[in-house]
Amino acid sequence: MATVRGLYRFLVDEGKIEVDPTASLRAPKAPQRLPKVLSVEDVARLLSAPNPETAAGLRDRALLEFLYSTGARVSEAVGLDIDDLATIDAEGFVRLLGKGNKERLVPVGTYARKALEIYLVRVRPEFITKGTGTPAVFLNSRGRRLSRQSAWTILRNAAERAQLTEVAEISPHMLRHSFATHLLSGGADVRVVQELLGHASVTTTQLYTHITVDSLREVYMSSHPRAISG
């Protein structure tokens, strides 16, 4: 379509034609794809998959719990520094640095806080001695900041251990989608979820309401005495 428009603009500029027939032409909108989410049961299996008997397994569990508990982007999680955790003990919140360097405070659930505490006490001190003293929260076994690619690998490995279907589609962003959808399904206000996700517009967050509508319809159809005609 862009090529055709360019051709007719050229023809008008060259005086070959007087009217551009594509001037009012509008490109069709691509259908909006709904984000894929995991069920609550699948998330529980995923978070329990890392091996708790190894240092890497304890780190992986802390990372996955953190991603699901906060809805953080993977870049926000691996970019997390120790100072960003300063408010967790006192207030139960973590400071995340999102797109456009915008900061937001997000609550951290008790499961994630416990997993983080175990990792920070038992694993991180061991890893940090092998590196150069980075302030990063999540480290690799060489004491360096965990990369986004490593976080993806951790998630994929956990999905395989949990024997989740469609492992190839599992991504850190799917945990973020699941976080938002489960909150809305549980009755959270869409604007609260918008704030937690760090979305500039509530329109972006409303994508998740399309998913919860299906579950609302199922409940309505099975529960309302006059939902289905006799």
Q: What is the set of active-site residues?
A: 73, 99, 173, 176, 199, 208
Q: How far is CA 148 from the centre of its chain?
A: 13
Q: Which residues on adjacent β-strands are paired with residue 95?
A: 105
- Torsion angle, CA of 109/111/117/118, rounded to 10 degrees? -170
Instruction: Please name the residue ranges forming H helices in the chain.
Output: 2-13, 40-47, 55-70, 74-78, 88-91, 110-122, 124-128, 148-161, 172-185, 190-197, 202-205, 207-223
Q: Which residues on adjacent β-strands are paired with residue 96?
A: 104
- Torsion angle, CA of 54/162/153/212, rounded to 10 degrees? -130
209 three-class SS: helix
The answer to whether the CB of 56 falls within 8 A of the CB of 157 is: no
The answer to whether the CB of 182 falls within 8 A of the CB of 193 is: no
